[in-house]
Chains A and B, each alone.
Chain A
Amino acid sequence: MSFTTDTLEQDLKTQEYKYGFITDIEADSAPPGLNEDIVRFISAKKNEPEWLLEWRLKAFAKWKTMREPKWPNVSYPPISYQDIIYYSAPKPKKVLNSLDEVDPELLATFEKLGISLDEQKRLSGVAVDAVFDSVSVVTTFKEKLSELGIIFCSFSEAVHNHPELIKQYLGSVVPYTDNYFAALNSAVFSDGSFVYIPKGVRCPMELSTYFRINALNTGQFERTLIIAEEGAYVSYLEGCTAPMRDENQLHAAVVELVAQKNGTIKYSTVQNWYPGDKEGKGGIYNFVTKRGICKGDNSKITWTQVETGSAITWKYPSCILQGDNSVGEFYSVAVTNNMQQADTGTKMVHVGKNTKSTIVSKGISAGKGQNTYRGLVKILKKATNAHNYSQCDSLLMGDRCGAHTFPYIEVQNSSARVEHEASTSKVGEDQIFYCNQRGLSSEDAVNLIVNGFCKEVFRELPMEFAVEAQKLLGISLEGSVG
């Protein structure tokens, strides 16, 4: 990929550590380590109301009693939680004067992704000229949304401006007791996004973190909360196809979605964090808890994810299908190349009557990558006529990688219909030769074959995102077939 370990290590070295500091509110960052004082410090830094501090402290107390999960099919050296810095104020990125100062490998990747020059500048922190006035774009955008009563802001802003909504919904889908990383996030979350779509409103555009300028420095412990009121619709895009680098190795985000009666939420992710080098050095640990609740009747939540980055991915975007006739969908492409590991999938919990869920998971393993699908389909007693369809396909490239599938099915209602299909295939030399014989290079051939494999997932992505995701996949797998 585009970054050498050296540059990442350099970044780590240049980070300023301020040892011996305890609760100086003026400081830019907390000392490493985690204790109640740190939680109080973070809360004070963000000027939070007392109830939120209480909530964080309860989460922290819970976290202390919990243990890091060992069941995922991944391995990594122990994480020293007392060596991590849990708060540092978003620092303005060093502004470069021109693209000449940017890592040429990074530029080469931008080029392959087809990212425009102005966009390349924005992403790599080059001062942008007046032609590309993103601020005015954002302003127009925000005006339009507020006319419709849509709230789209940072989590911290929402805490201050819409405390009643945060109080009502925070932790309502992913309680701080849920799991080790969710508890950690609840105690120390830095910032994130908040979206509220009022009753009957169809959000007229894809909401993307891209438009939230102050979200450019995404933290280590992000928290996102999206609420679609009765009959509301929203499509939310998270992430970016450009390679994202972060000096923090551990990322533990929490995302909560709430869809009320007839509400629809589409949540699409492209994750391209630094995966580490070919030997597996460096790289992000991405331990995320994402869950949505279809609270009202006829509500619908769709998770679509394209996971190409990170050294380790541990995430299971899930749906609780509480409302009658509610629908949950999960479409996933997960790529592991070189030494990457992924243990990802979903949970579909059918509570209401006539609830329906669809799972389409495409795992691609190359190099020495290990790719695990883990999914739970649970049909509760009262969920009459529940229906699930699961399809898990694995594609292997080369003979040193691995694909694993762990489907769990629990059915408590005999009227349920649960279908599971799985396949494993290899990118065949005969397929590549066939493409070669029609004039396509081996690289293009692999691209074509892999994109064909992922088609059912890509078509769930918003158009532009899908095109970028296809290119991204090609870059992630570059050189994996000789």
Chain B
Amino acid sequence: MLTIDNLQAKVEDKQILRGINLQINPGEIHAIMGPNGSGKSTLANVLAGRDMYEVNGGSVEFNGQDLLDLDPEVRAREGLFLAFQYPVEIPGVNNTYFLRAAVNAVRKHHGEPELDGAQFLKFAREKAKLVELDPTLMNRSVNEGFSGGEKKRNEIFQMAVLNPKLAILDETDSGLDIDALRIVANGVNALRSPDRSFLIVTHYQRLLDYIVPDFVHVLVDGRIVKSGGKELALELEEKGYAWVEEELLAGAIA
């Protein structure tokens, strides 16, 4: 599905990713954890193709294609989805209209017929139920005046509608109360499938109580310094990121 090989990236003159290696197979859920400023969100954004980041080394293969060579919209149409940490408001643009345009862009890319309004609405309403999205939000402007929880839920709703191969969740849990967290997690779990993979970027362990990952990676200073199973997240929660950093330091001295 996704192979990241020695990926390096910087913003302006600041090097942020210093050689990321990661292999994600179909159906797997990987969690990336790490302290603030370790490069978690940068990794998510670089994979999605945001142009404020400059990739200055390494490669990424996505389903046999050179991901870094594709424009962001092509990456999306090829099945890469990013749930934004801060979903953007687009005033005056109807949420349903926006999403139908997105779905049809993807369908067109794959040579499939576009959906008309009625077809899309039927399909979208089912997906809205999945994430317990208030149906009135579908008729509002994209994210405009949404609460923090509604915005995140809207991201998961979009994910459900767009049906991606790889979904990257960038701190989707930040700013959510426990009920919202549960709803978001239920949505993600409902979308788990043998041919869909997830990369979940989070600072806290608590999201992983609801979405159980297959692998947990710890990102420190632009590198993955430790990988393990779901229990690694619990260990991190207990001992804090300082523990990993100390361990690293000890390793370096030894």
Contacts and interface: CB of A to CB of B under 8 A. Distances in A.
A, B co-complexed: yes
A448 B76 contact: no
A442 B50 CA distance: 12
B172 interface: no
Given A433-B50, A433-B72, A439 B162 contact: yes
Contacts of A430: 88
A438 B50 contact: no
B12 to A, nearest CB: 15
Which of A449, A454, A456 has most B Cβ within 10 Å?
A449
Size category of the A interface is: 20 to 34
B88 to A, nearest CB: 4
Given A440-B105, A448-B98, A454 B92 contact: yes
Contacts of A442: 73
B84 A434 contact: yes
Contacts of B77: 439
A238 interface: no
A155 interface: no
Contact of B48 (A428, A437, A444): A437
A200 interface: no
A441 interface: yes
A430 B158 CA distance: 17
A452 interface: yes
B105 A444 contact: yes
Given A437-B76, A439-B76, A449 B105 contact: no
Nearest to B72: A436
Given A440-B102, A452-B141, A434 B162 contact: no
Interface in B35-49: 48-49
B102 A439 contact: yes
B76 A452 contact: no
Given A433-B50, A438-B162, A439-B73, A453 B92 contact: yes
Nearest to B81: A437
A455 interface: yes
Nearest to B105: A439
Given A433-B50, A439-B162, A452 B90 contact: yes
A452 B92 contact: yes
A431 interface: yes
Nearest to B106: A439
A451 interface: yes
A452 B88 CA distance: 14
A335 to B, nearest CB: 16
Contacts of A429: 52
Contacts of B82: 437
Interface of B: 48-52, 71-73, 75-77, 81-82, 84, 87-88, 90-93, 98-99, 101-103, 105-106, 109, 141, 158, 162
